[in-house]
Every structure is written in structure tokens, then in C-alpha cells.
Structure 1
Amino acid sequence: MLILLPPSEGKALPTRGRPLDLATLSSPELTEARSEVIAALVELCADDADKAAEVLGLGPSLRELIQHNATLLEQPAVRADRIYTGVLYDNLDFASLSSAAKRRATGRVAVTSSVFGMVRPGDAIPSYRLSGDVTLPGLGSVAGFWREHLGPAVLEALGDGLLVDLRSTTYANFWRPAADLAPRVATVRVLHEQGGKRKVVSHFNKATKGRLVRALLEEGANPRTPARLAEALRDLGWFVEVGEPGKKGTQLDVVVSEL
């Protein structure tokens, strides 16, 4: 099973650690592509802070992140599971997982990244600011760039297991599984039900996805089909509805009424 997560927009800013060493990261087939993105991002932020702020969509309160990006290769790198923050990652809470669950996370969890394409929890990376919907001068659309490079690495990580795709729309655009993978692709949507009505609420969506991943890792569940994933989640206490299989996989709706 491969659980594919979106990154967080906000990230921790470590103050200690060795600089990035691309050769140490998982999915080494992405090294050249990672270098291209880093070069384009560093050049943009080092040359013109005003233009960088406009391209990256950074307001006045976030301008210090431009200088951080400009010196990305000098910044301390720490485990990716310490870099990503926010609601999903707070609820997943890598640090407090049991030893067995941490070992499972190493092999079963990957995070989509605008800079690195895909990283594993133990990969040492610096904090960065680059959203997946940005177009970088000299590189083009970040999503379009990764669509050309990311597929083989994801397929290698997936092997013959089930893909549990929890990415947001922006990061789903980095790579989409081919139709022949559909029988072993599960996407998860979280619906908040209140007063008999259901809707997607960002906070509930992110928090619930974090808790789902945590529960699967702690339980040790390793389903191989979307239907088995639904069963595993129900056994863990979630209310799950299974959609019809399609060319993009099977959608599971997890319905919650409260956090």
C-alpha cells in the first residue's frame, strides 16, 4: 500500500541540520528533476524579491520566505515528517506514532512536493515555499513539470499494492494513475454531515485524513483493494460509503459529524 499525501503550505523552519543532499533522498530517479526546480526557484528569489513575491503569491507578512528560498541549498534539512505541518499533519502526528507504525510509515507513506516531486517521511529536506499551482520562470508550470517526471517514481514506490490517494486537486495534477491501475486506486473524500446535509469542509477533510492515516499505520492494515480499504476503515470505526469503480479508481466517502 502507498498512501500519497498532499504537502502543507505552511512548514516548520528548522534552525539546525546539515544542508540538503539530494543524493540521500528516496526515489533517486528524481534527482535531476529536483535540481531543475531548485535552480529555478533559487534564481527567481535571489534575483528579484518583488517579482518572486508576485509569482509565489506571497504577501508582505511572508516576504522573509523569499530570502529563505533564495538560500535553500544552505538551509538546514531535517526529516520531512518534521517539516510538514498544518491540520492533516497535526492529526497524523508522526512523532507520537508507535515504533511499529513509524516503520510502516517509512514504507507506506509519501508526500507530494512541488520542489522534490515526492518524499518519504525520513527524507531530510529544508523548509521551502512553493505552491503546486505556481508557474516558475524558466521552468514553467510546476504541476506540468512534475507530470513529465513523477510517474515512474510513484509506480516504483507503489509496486503491486493499493494506492490510497489523499492528495488535494492541486497536487493530484502532478501525476494521475493510468486507467489500468484503477482497480487498485482508492481516493478518499471526507464529507461533514450536519442537519441531514453533507458537504466538504476543509478543516474536517484535512483532520479526518490525518486521523485515517494514523489509524491505518497503528493498526497495521495493508488492504490491497478499495473494497478492503473500506472494510479496514469501518473496522476502525469510520462510516464509509464506496462509490462505483471508474477509470480513475474508486472513491470512498468518509462521513463525519464531528471531529
Structure 2
Amino acid sequence: MESEARSEEAQELLLFLSRWRPIQEAAMLVVLLNRRDGLSHLSPLRRMLHRQPYLSDMTRVVVQRGPAAVVEYVKALSVVNEDRGEAVRACRMTAVDLDVDDVAQTVKALRAAEFGTEADNVIRVAGKDPQAIGRIVPLAGALWSAGMDADADRLLEMVTGNSPEQALELAGEMLALGRHMKAFELYLKAAAVIAHRPASESVRILSAMDEAGHGDLAEPSCELSSRPLSRRQTFSGSVRNCQPRAWRTGC
């Protein structure tokens, strides 16, 4: 019982330091406690904490201090630690734990500080981690608002690259946000899926293009078949007679 109490007290102290002390001190503590060699005077503290996820908790507390803290933490770790494992952990926590506006600002700050690899890691986690995947559209919007268009595009490319179905789903959300050109780019990626949907879906998408002021992209490149489409006929069934220019040339 006494050992457990000491362990809890030690962890509370470390979390307090991570929350209130300068970021550089928190980074140094994480590095020292993570070392396996030397500094034998820290061994009792390591043994006291060996069952606690104290390193993860310390990093999470730092990340929760916001974008500027994340950048300072990554910078400090890069100076004192050759092992980038804790920086990678911080990037993952940034993508999962912070709200999307703070994630976008962190990516922007990391790139400004020339930590491009870490910024890429945040985007990669945001696009692939199951805990972050539900925030793709809001995060893309936050990145656009922060002027990080390339990162927003990279995020969407990562999510939709090998999934026409995901591209179709996100295209609808982009359209609802007023991001018409991005929506149409995603619709193009989903052409193989749309081709097997009822023709009414293609008509809906092309109509949306026209309503958004991009009717030239929606004009057919050849004459429509004189035979009317049945209710269940798919776009692929009429593709020989009409291929929308958008499917062929892009937006």
C-alpha cells in the first residue's frame, strides 16, 4: 500500500511539472526517465513508476497545453534525445486529443519551425488512426482556414487514395461545405462506384456542378441516347452514349 501511494504521489508530481513547468523541463524529465543507462540515482523513481504509463501521461499533459507547447516539446526532444519515439507519441496525441483547430495550428507551427516530418506525422495519424478518422472533414476545414491547403489536400488524398467509396462519402460532405471543386475532384475518384449506382445519382452530381456554376464541366461530350433511361438503369448502362466531361477530364 505504501509503495502504491508513493507511486501515485510521484506520478502526480510529474504530471504537475508537465502541466506548469517550462516545456524544456518536461522534455528533459521524459528523456531521463526513459533512459536505460547511467543516472543510477533515478533508478528508485523508475522502479516506483514502472507499472504506470507515466511517460505517455506526461506527454499527453504537455500536448494539452496547446500548439505552441507541442512545438516547443518537439524542439526540446530533438535537442536532447536522439530517439524520436516520444516526439512521434506527441504527434499522435496531437492528432487524436486536440480539437481540430488546434491540430491545424500545430501543423502550421511545426512547419514554420521546420519540423516537417512531425507535421507529416500529425497528418498521417489524423488520416489513418481509428480514433481520428471521424474528424477528417472538420480537420480539413480547419487546415484550409489556417492557410494549410496542401496539408488539407494531403489529408483527403490519404483517406480517399485507395477507397472510391470513401471518396464518394467525403465528396458529399465537401459539397455541403461549399467546397465545390474539391467535391468534384473526389467525385472523379469515385467514378467507378458512381458508375454502378442508379443513373439518378449521376444526374444529382452533375446538377450540383451546374448549380455551383460549373455547368461546363457537367455538359455531356456526346449526344444522349434517344431511348429514355429506365428507373433502375445505371450510369454504366448509358456510358456508351454519354460520358460527362467531368469524368474524363477532371475539375
Which band: TM-score by shorter chain?
Answer: under 0.3
Q: TM-score, normalised by structure 2?
A: 0.28
Structure ranking higher on relative contact order (CA contacts 8 Å, 6+ apart): 1
The structure that has the greater radius of gyration is 2
- Between structures 1 and 2, the one with greater strand share: 1
Q: TM-score, normalised by structure 1?
A: 0.27
- Between structures 1 and 2, the one with greater helix share: 2
